[in-house]
Amino acid sequence: MEKRGRRGIGKVAVFACLFLFFLFLCTPAALANYNFDGVPVETATSGTVNGGVFIDYEPWAGTTTLTGDFEVPRGEVKWARLYTGIWGGTEKYEGWVNVTFNGVCDGDAGLGPIHLQGENDANPNVWCSTHGKYWIWYNVTDLVNAGAVNTASTTKINATVGGFDGRVYGLVLVVVYEGGDNPKEIQYWVNDGCDALHSFAWPHPAHDTGTTDFDGSVNAEKVSSANLTVVFLTAYEPVCDRCLKFNGHELDTTEVDSNNFELKSWSVTGYVAAAGNNAWYSRGEDSYVNVANAVLVLENEEEEEEEPTVRVSTDKPEYSPGDVMNVSLEICNPTEEVETFEWYFGVPQLGIWATLTSTQLPAEFDETFTVPISVGEWGATPFGIVQYVQLLDPESGEILDQDVCLAKYNPTAAAYEEEKATTTQDRRQEIGEEIKREVGKVELR
């Protein structure tokens, strides 16, 4: 992944953080919250959004200061956490680090100086495992600037006990957002923790594998794409090619090929189940592997909204006196709104344009009508018949759908010979009135 430029921390933020640091030096130690085996990777948040899940990271650089710039998409931020990792050296060493996000180093998010105390650690947002591996999280929901670059930084301040190392494993930002420029129908799980897999059988039992669950039901038939993203605080050395499974399906882990921080994604499209989804992971032949996050994002097929439709047709293309023109009307209004249906009958050659029906259609209306129109002695001259139908929004007048059908009137040969020499403008008007009277009898039943 190509990374972006860095931003410096403002002087005001630095002085504020240092003030908090010296203030925290006076805070007494609390009860320990350390586990050699780490903590299981469990769901921190899950749900659905019409938006997206943003995941980005800054990898290990082997330094005691690490800064990451994260270009978060536009949208309404629903949930966001910043994660960062520190290598302590051993669980016996302790030291101070400083974590900032968008220049903030205090407040409800708990940002700023934090004292990492190894096997004596009691910070509620810190998971410390094995020989001093720290994975730290912060709630930055209210601090993320959507549609902009967000900057996070982790810096070692000093060691307080022993040779506290303080090198930064990495930075990860996860943001769940609604809306945005290209929203998708998303179902998601953000699982976090710090599962410390290891081979040592004494004094702690070996911990070779782990599983993280994505509880809840899924409409698997709707899933168009599925991606699993896993954060390894420390990954595989030697390389393991089958150390991750999703619902029992092996995923290629050969690219997770360093003993340092790794973040990788896999397509698990086609492997998603209706319930009981999970990811299994193993340490392979590596003595120490830490799995910190597992994020499952399902993109669902968007349900196409049914639109109002109308169709008009006749049973034949041509009609003569004495025939019956059977007009078929297919009218469908699947919406929750009332719509307007209009039906027009026209004979352009005779200057006729009659409204046969203008009526309101209730919501979820779906009917097909066959309407008979008797064809009379409508003169000795052939002409075209136009029938036009449309559905309208009754408030705006917007045409929602429309259709047209054409037919032809053919006079009988006898009528043609009789009237071809006598047809006048008055007769044309009479024919027009006859047609209007006939079509005026039309009713939708």
Q: Look up the CATH number of the domain holding residue 336.
A: 2.60.40.2550
Residues 225 and 326 in one domain: no
Which residue spans within 179-253 are E strands per DSSP? 184-198, 209-214, 223-234, 244-246, 249-251
Q: Which of 272, 300, 328 is the last residue of a domain?
A: 300
pLDDT of residue 418: 58
Is 5 contained in some domain? no
Q: What is the pTM of this model?
A: 0.69
Residues 119 and 177 in one domain: yes
Domain enclosing residue 165, as ranges: 11-300
**Alpha-carbon dihedral sign for residues 286, 292, 298, 299:** negative
- The arithmetic mean of pLDDT across residues 190-195, rounded, is 98
Query: What confidence category does residue 108 fall into, taking pLDDT thresholds of 50, 70 and 90?
Result: confident
Q: Is 163 helix (H, G, I), strand (E, B) or coil?
A: coil
**In the predicted structure, residue 398 carries a pLDDT above the cut 80:** yes
Residues 285 and 328 in one domain: no
Residues 211 and 346 in one domain: no
Is 420 contained in some domain? yes
Whether the bond into 317 is cis, omega within 30 of 0: no
pLDDT of residue 44: 98
Residues 41 and 143 in one domain: yes
Q: Which of 274, 300, 326 is the last residue of a domain?
A: 300
Q: Which of 255, 276, 300 is the last residue of a domain?
A: 300
Residues 85 and 218 in one domain: yes
pLDDT of residue 414: 67
pLDDT of residue 443: 73
CA distances from 149 to 73, 144, 342, 430 (A): 9, 9, 53, 77
Q: State the distance between the two ends of the chain, measured CA to CA, in whole angstroms.
A: 66
Is 85 contained in some domain? yes
- How many other β-carbons are positioned within 10 Å of the β-carbon of residue 416? 15
**In the predicted structure, residue 72 carries a pLDDT above the cut 80:** yes
CA distances from 386 to 58, 129, 349, 355 (A): 68, 81, 11, 12
Q: Which of 87-96, 291-300, 416-425 has the lowest mean pLDDT?
A: 416-425
**In the predicted structure, residue 440 carries a pLDDT above the cut 90:** no
* Summary mean pLDDT of the chain: 89
**In the predicted structure, residue 423 carries a pLDDT above the cut 80:** no
In angstroms, the CA 260 to CA 46 distance is 28
Number of structural domains (the chain) is: 2
- The arithmetic mean of pLDDT across residues 216-238, rounded, is 95
Query: What confidence category does residue 427 fall into, taking pLDDT thresholds of 50, 70 and 90?
Result: low
Q: Is 49 helix (H, G, I), strand (E, B) or coil?
A: strand
In angstroms, the CA 390 to CA 356 distance is 12
**In the predicted structure, residue 384 carries a pLDDT above the cut 60:** yes
Is 444 contained in some domain? no
Residues 159 and 257 in one domain: yes
**In the predicted structure, residue 355 carries a pLDDT above the cut 70:** yes
**In the predicted structure, residue 30 carries a pLDDT above the cut 70:** no
Residues 335 and 254 in one domain: no
Residues 209 and 340 in one domain: no
Is 1 contained in some domain? no
Residues 23 and 143 in one domain: yes
In the chain, count H helices and then E strands.
Answer: 3, 25
pLDDT of residue 350: 87
Here the tokens at position 399 are: 């045409």
Query: What confidence category does residue 422 fall into, taking pLDDT thresholds of 50, 70 and 90?
Result: low
In angstroms, the CA 321 to CA 215 distance is 72
Better pLDDT: 436 or 139: 139
Residues 390 and 246 in one domain: no
Residues 128 and 39 in one domain: yes
Is 6 contained in some domain? no
Better pLDDT: 29 or 125: 125
